[in-house]
Amino acid sequence: MTVFYVPILQVASNATMLPAILATTIGSNLGANLTPVGALAGLMWMVILRDKDVKISFKEFLKYGLIITPITLVCCLAVLTIEFTFL
């Protein structure tokens, strides 16, 4: 998703638009961490795990995603807030 947003970031000259675009980029990338079918990387990860005989169910993947993704999102948005408020 980040690669998809590069052209948008290049034309965003308005200083107030940049934080919104970066927040959208963060959300779109982290949103795929919730389920293994949310992005190609999740599907590839599941194939690699299956090839290594590691068993992880959709429910277990979702459980970990629901724990980690909100924490990561809050941290990313906190960094954006600090970056664009105080620096």
Q: What is the mean pLDDT of residues 40-45?
A: 84
The whole-model pTM stands at 0.70
Rounded (5°) CA angle 78-21-69: 45
Lowest mean pLDDT among 39-43, 44-48, 49-53, 54-58: 39-43
The rounded distance, in Å, linking the Cα atoms of 87 and 85 is: 6
Number of helical (H) and strand (E) elements in the chain, helices listed first: 4, 0
Asked, for residue 78, whether it belongs to a domain, the answer is: yes
Asked, for residue 8, whether it belongs to a domain, the answer is: no
The per-residue pLDDT of the chain, averaged, comes to 85
The number of C-alpha atoms within 13 Å of 21 and in the hemisphere containing its C-beta is 17
Q: How confident is the model at residue 1 (pLDDT cuts 50, 70, 90)?
A: low
Q: Which domain holds residue 41?
A: 17-85
Asked, for residue 6, whether it belongs to a domain, the answer is: no
Asked, for residue 5, whether it belongs to a domain, the answer is: no
